[in-house]
Amino acid sequence: MDISVIVPLFNEEESLPELHAWIRRVMQENGFSYEVIFVNDGSTDGSWQVIEGLQREYPEVKGIKFRRNYGKSPALFCGFEKAQGDVVITMDADLQDSPDEIPELRRMIVEDGYDLVSGYKMNRRQGDPLSKTIPTKLFNATARMVSGIHNLHDFNCGLKAYRRDVVKNIEVYGEMHRYIPYLAKNAGFSKIGEKPVHHQARKFGKSKFMGWNRFVNGYLDLLSLWFLDSFGLKPMHVFGFIGTLMFMLGFIAAAVVGGNKIYCLAAGIPARLVTESPYFYLSLTMMILGTQLFVAGFLGELISRNSAERNRYQIEKEI
Ligand code: UDP
Ligand code: MG
């Protein structure tokens, strides 16, 4: 099978028939063998009936129905598990992403050798509220910096293409769909590209992601990924090192304060109380924080030692 198209959806009944017809037309024009996997993320409208109707008529349509709404990432995860195509395309259900982009996205994977190609909504539709475009810019700038994938302008675009290996070897969870390129990079898939895609206004219904809290959560997710990437495998090396360093500095500072006092006492020079010196408190704080960091590293090490994932590595080939 050439292509699997995965469509996560939540209450999108009006768009589905049109989306399916469009995908089908593109696939037939190009002669691809394909499947379309609709993942119904606990819709409360008639989306599932529509999918069942399509499935009866077209055998290439597949569906997964969640009992409740879990979110876009879980929907993508289950779609990825089911996908069989050599190239996997994800797209939103709201007709904002154009299926006409599929042939070129596939070509970039198959011929240019990309592991992942992300869409880039270059001419964002007018009428997007500023409260969405400005944070989006900020978000992408931060994501580029933290992830080290400098050539992506639009991490969160729903339209993406993957080599099958990629989707079978990454685990999208929580709200991590925003950072799939970063997940892929951490798993060792480094050839990540971008293609400017046509993008239009939502035709039916309204956006399922509104409000500011998604940016707070988005940044926290980015931080977790960064932590996992940088020292998830060896927490003691980082926390233990900083902790030891802080403790030593604090200890030396305390020794200097104490030594000074003893010297003054011995030499009969009048000196102020140790507890009156600010350095005394600084050194105490350093020693306490240092010990805590060290313990944090040790706990992290104990936890990762017990994790079932501790020896899961990305193996590309065995012969
Ligand atoms: N979606 C989903 N589960 C959710 C929220 C959204 O599967 O809990 C789907 C939604 O139906 C759409 C895609 O994710 O197909 C992108 O959502 P939306 O278009 O609302 O996001 P926006 O384009 O406004 O960022
Ligand atoms: Mg949308």
Half-sphere exposure of 206 (CA within 13 A, CB side): 5
Comparing 308 with 163, the larger pLDDT belongs to: 163
Q: Which of 9, 80, 94 is nearest to 49 (CA)?
A: 9
pLDDT digits (tens, 9 = 90+) for 268-306: 888 888 888 888 999 999 999 999 999 999 999 999 888
b/e code 49-75 from CB counts within 10 Å (16+ = b): ebbbebeeeeebbbbbebeebbbbbbb
Q: Which of 6, 7, 10, 36 to mutate to test the pocket of ligand 1 (most atoms within 8 A of CB)?
A: 10
pLDDT digits (tens, 9 = 90+) for 136-147: 888 899 999 999
Q: Is 290 in the pocket of ligand 1 (CB under 6 A)?
A: no
Mean pLDDT in the chain? Answer: 91
Which H or E run contains 36?
Answer: strand 34-40
| Interval between CA 148 and ligand 2 midpoint (Å) | 26
Comparing 314 with 226, the larger pLDDT belongs to: 226
pLDDT digits (tens, 9 = 90+) for 245-273: 999 999 999 999 999 999 999 998 888 88
pLDDT, residue 304, reads 87
* Neighbouring residues of 251: CB distance < 8 A, sequence distance ≥ 6: 283, 287
The percentage of the chain sitting over the pLDDT mark of 90, rounded to a whole number, equals 73
Q: Is 154 in the pocket of ligand 1 (CB under 6 A)?
A: no
pLDDT, residue 205, reads 86
Residue 55 identity? Q
Both tokens assigned to 141: 């700038």
Q: Which of 94, 98, 197 to mutate to test the pocket of ligand 1 (most atoms within 8 A of CB)?
A: 94
pLDDT, residue 211, reads 66
| Interval between CA 164 and ligand 2 midpoint (Å) | 24
Q: Is 158 in the pocket of ligand 1 (CB under 6 A)?
A: yes
| Interval between CA 233 and ligand 1 midpoint (Å) | 33
pLDDT, residue 218, reads 82
* Neighbouring residues of 243: CB distance < 8 A, sequence distance ≥ 6: 289, 290, 291, 292, 293, 294, 295, 296, 297
Q: Is 41 in the pocket of ligand 1 (CB under 6 A)?
A: yes
- Does 159 score more than 80 pLDDT? yes
Q: Is 92 in the pocket of ligand 1 (CB under 6 A)?
A: yes
Least confident of 150-154, 189-193, 269-273: 269-273
Which H or E run contains 63?
Answer: strand 61-65
Mean pLDDT of 139-165: 93
End-to-end C-alpha distance for the chain, whole angstroms: 25
| Interval between CA 110 and ligand 1 midpoint (Å) | 28
Q: Is 12 in the pocket of ligand 1 (CB under 6 A)?
A: yes
Comparing 232 with 153, the larger pLDDT belongs to: 153
Q: Is 214 in the pocket of ligand 1 (CB under 6 A)?
A: no
Mean pLDDT of 72-81: 96
| Interval between CA 262 and ligand 2 midpoint (Å) | 71
- Does 57 score more than 80 pLDDT? yes
Residue nearest to ligand 1 atom 23, measured at CA = 207
- Does 244 score more than 90 pLDDT? yes
Mean pLDDT of 38-53: 96
Q: Which of 32, 41, 45 is nearest to 5 (CA)?
A: 32
CA distance 218 to 178: 8
CA distance 155 to 178: 6
* Neighbouring residues of 151: CB distance < 8 A, sequence distance ≥ 6: 192, 193, 194
| Interval between CA 202 and ligand 2 midpoint (Å) | 6
| Interval between CA 249 and ligand 2 midpoint (Å) | 53
Residue 279 identity? Y
Q: Is 98 in the pocket of ligand 1 (CB under 6 A)?
A: no
Residue matched to tokens 């042939």:
103
| Interval between CA 46 and ligand 1 midpoint (Å) | 16
- Does 214 score more than 80 pLDDT? no
- Does 127 score more than 90 pLDDT? no
Strand arrangement of the beta sheet that strand 3-9 belongs to: 61-65, 34-40, 3-9, 87-90, 160-163, 116-121, 192-197
Q: Is 13 in the pocket of ligand 1 (CB under 6 A)?
A: no
